[in-house]
Structure 1
Amino acid sequence: MTQTIPYLVYLVDDETNLLELLRSYLVRAGLEVKTFQSGEEVLAVLEIDQAKPHLWILDIMLPDIDGYELLRLIRNKSSEVPIMFISARDQDIDKIIGLELGSDDYLAKPFLPRELVIRAQRLLNRTYDKPATSSPGIPVSTDNYQDWISVSGYYISEKGRLVKEDEQIIDLTTKEFDLLLYFMQNQGQALQREQILTAVWGDDYIGSDRAVDDLVKRIRKKLPNFPIETVYGFGYRMTK
Structure 2
Amino acid sequence: MSAPKPYLVYLVDDEENLLELLKSYLQNAGYQVKTFQTGEEVLQVLDIDTPHLWILDIMLPDIDGYELLRQIRSKSDVPIIFISARDQDMDKIIGLELGSDDYLAKPFLPRELVIRVQKLLQRSYEKGVSPIAGLAVPQYQDWIQIGPYLISEKGRMVKEGEQPIELTTKEFDMIAYFLHNQGQALHREQILAAVWGDDYVGSDRAVDDLVKRIRKKLPGFPLETVYGFGYRMTVK
Q: Which residue of 2 aligns with 1:38?
A: 38
Aligned to 2:157: 162
Contact 1:78 1:137 survives alignment (8 Å): no
- Whether the 8 Å contact between 1:99 and 1:215 is mirrored in structure 2 is no
Match of 2:83 in 1: 86
Mean CA deviation greater in 158-167 or 181-190: 158-167
Aligned AA (1:163): V
Q: Which amino acid aligns with 1:78?
A: S
Q: Which residue number corresponds to residue 124 of structure 2?
A: 127
Number of equivalences: 233
Which deviations, in whole Å up to 9, do the C-alpha atoms of 1:117-164 show, x marking residues without a partner?
211111011112234x4333879989x645322222222122222112
Match of 1:214 among 209, 214, 220: 209
Whole-Å Cα distance in 2 between the matches of residues 194 and 130 of structure 1? 30
Q: For residues 162 and 18 of structure 1, do their structure 2 counterparts lie closer, same or farther at Cα, with a shift above 3 Å needed? A: same
CA offset digits 1:164-186 (Å, max 9, x no partner): 22422110011111110110110
- Determine the structure 2 residue equivalent to 1:73: 71
Gaps of 5+ in 1: none
Instruction: Tell me if structure 1 keeps the 8 A contact 2:125–2:156.
Output: no
Please report how far the alpha carbon of residue 219 of structure 1 lies from its aligned counterpart in structure 2 after TM superposition. Answer: 1.1
Alignment CA distance shift 1:234-1:139 (3 Å): farther
**Do the aligned partners of residues 34 and 190 (structure 1) sit closer, same or farther apart at CA in structure 2, a change above 3 Å counting?**
same
Q: CA RMSD in A?
A: 2.6
Aligned counterparts of 1:30 and 1:183: Cα–Cα separation in 2:
34
Tell me the CA shift for residue 235 of structure 1. Answer: 2.3
Q: Which runs of 5+ in 2 are unaligned?
A: none
Equivalent residue of 1:176, what SS?
helix
Q: Percent identity?
A: 77
Moved over 6 A (4+): 137-142
Task: Tell me, yes or no, if the aligned pair for 2:126 and 2:154 is still in contact at 8 Å.
Answer: no
Q: TM-score, normalised by structure 1?
A: 0.85
Q: Is the 8 A contact 1:39 1:65 kept in 2?
A: yes
- Distance change (3 Å), C-alpha of 1:169 and 1:225: same
SS in 2 for 1:71: helix
If the length of structure 2 is used for normalisation, what is the TM-score?
A: 0.86
Q: Which has the higher contact order (CA 8 A, sep 6+)?
A: 1
Distance 1:190 1:139 in 2: 40
Alpha-carbon shift at residue 191 of structure 1 (Å): 1.6
Give CA deviations for 1:67-92 in whole Å, capped at 9, x if unaligned: 2222222223322x111111233334
Query: For the Cα contact (< 8 Å) 1:14–1:37, is it kept in 2?
Result: yes
> Which residue in the other structure is 2:220 paired with?
225
Contact 1:40–1:65 (Cα < 8 Å) also in 2: yes
Contact persistence 1:228–1:238 (CA under 8 A): yes
2: distance between equivalents of 1:71 and 1:27? Answer: 24
Structure 1: which amino acid aligns with 2:56? Answer: L
2:42 is aligned with what amino acid? V
SS at match of 1:48: coil
Q: Deviations over 1:24-82 (max 9, x none)?
A: 22223222211100011111222433xx2111001122111122222222223322x11
CA distance in 2, matches of 1:22, 1:14: 12
Asked if structure 2 preserves the Cα contact closer than 8 Å seen for 1:92 and 1:208, the reply is no
